[in-house]
């Protein structure tokens, strides 16, 4: 078998310490090529640069800064930098959780999804905002040494969230729900004109539903959430009779 080809990216930018840790661990498993945004592109989800050109800057052997989004990085990486499809696409380690509905906004998670769309085994890694990278390093290694034994169907990824302290272990989880209080703050600029700021200091409140990633990660476990790109709601899809009554002729 040829050497594993591993594409790395993130949404915090190429200089983020979480990416350096992931590069360090991933390099034990194959040849790592990093294509990451040249600045923080957090909360940009799956945005694609359709109307702007993309530039890559080589910063070292197999390390590139791209002026696009995390998904741009995965596409450019897969299509031009690697020479063949990567075996793994790893994204992170994000500075901050991606739990519950966070996954819809997260560029970290979106990059992993793009990796799965490109046919790679893909995972997103996120850490408690006050978490310690050195504590989670052996857990990333443990996960990567075992995850090939549990292949996922197409269009699925693993999303891992690491707790603040020493992890108690891995826990397979469902997606939690969360709410942001005071999400949009109104302030006034020095000229007296109001402006609005999304994402205040309050932070999210997780429902901590039993069996969910919110509960597991806040209780000190590594939450391992299998995510699916198919967003169809199976419970509503099953209500065909009711649908015909309401929308049928």
Binding site for Mn ion (CB under 5 A): 11-12, 42, 94
Burial readout 32-44 (b: 16 or more C-beta within 10 A, e: otherwise) = bbbbbbbeebbbb
Q: Measured from the CB atom, is 11 or 38 closer to Mn ion?
A: 11
Q: Measured from the CB atom, is 78 or 109 closer to Mn ion?
A: 109
Q: How far apart are CA 134 and CA 21, in angstroms?
A: 8
Q: Measured from the CB atom, is 108 or 171 closer to Mn ion?
A: 108
| Minimum separation from the CB atom of position 94 to Mn ion (A) | 4
| Minimum separation from the CB atom of position 50 to Mn ion (A) | 22
| Minimum separation from the CB atom of position 155 to Mn ion (A) | 22
With CA atoms as reference, report the closest residue to 76 among 125, 43, 111, 104.
111
Q: Measured from the CB atom, is 95 or 215 closer to Mn ion?
A: 95
Q: Tokens representing 218?
A: 């806040």
| Minimum separation from the CB atom of position 20 to Mn ion (A) | 15
Torsion of CA 204, 196, 42, 93, to 10 degrees: -40
- The closest residue (CB) to Mn ion is 42
| Minimum separation from the CB atom of position 77 to Mn ion (A) | 18
With CA atoms as reference, report the closest residue to 70 among 20, 97, 34.
34
Q: Measured from the CB atom, is 40 or 85 closer to Mn ion?
A: 40
Secondary structure percentages of the chain, helix, strand, coil, to 5? 30, 30, 40
């Amino acid at each position: 078998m040829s050497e594993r080809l591993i594409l790395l990216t993130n949404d915090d930018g190429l200089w983020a310490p979480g990416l350096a840790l992931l590069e360090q661990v991933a390099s034990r498993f194959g040849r790592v090529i990093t294509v990451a945004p040249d600045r923080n592109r957090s909360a940009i989800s799956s945005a694609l640069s359709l109307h702007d050109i993309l530039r890559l800057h080589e910063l070292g052997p197999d390390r590139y800064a791209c002026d696009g989004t995390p998904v741009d990085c995965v596409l450019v990486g897969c299509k031009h930098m690697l020479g063949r499809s990567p075996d793994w696409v790893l994204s992170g380690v994000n500075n901050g959780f991606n739990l519950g509905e966070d996954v819809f906004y997260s560029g970290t998670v979106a990059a992993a999804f793009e990796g799965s769309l490109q046919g790679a085994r893909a995972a997103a890694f996120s850490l408690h905002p006050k978490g310690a990278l050195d504590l989670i390093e052996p857990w990333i290694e443990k996960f990567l040494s075992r995850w090939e034994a549990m292949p996922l169907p197409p269009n699925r990824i693993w999303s891992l969230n690491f707790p603040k302290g020493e992890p108690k272990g891995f826990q397979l989880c469902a997606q939690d729900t969360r709410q942001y209080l005071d999400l949009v703050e109104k302030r006034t600029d020095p000229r007296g004109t109001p402006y609005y700021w999304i994402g205040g200091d309050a932070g999210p409140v997780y429902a901590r539903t039993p069996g969910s990633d919110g509960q597991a990660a806040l209780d000190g476990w590594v939450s391992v959430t299998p995510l699916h790109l198919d967003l169809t709601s199976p419970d509503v899809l099953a209500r065909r009779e009711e649908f015909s009554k309401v929308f049928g002729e």
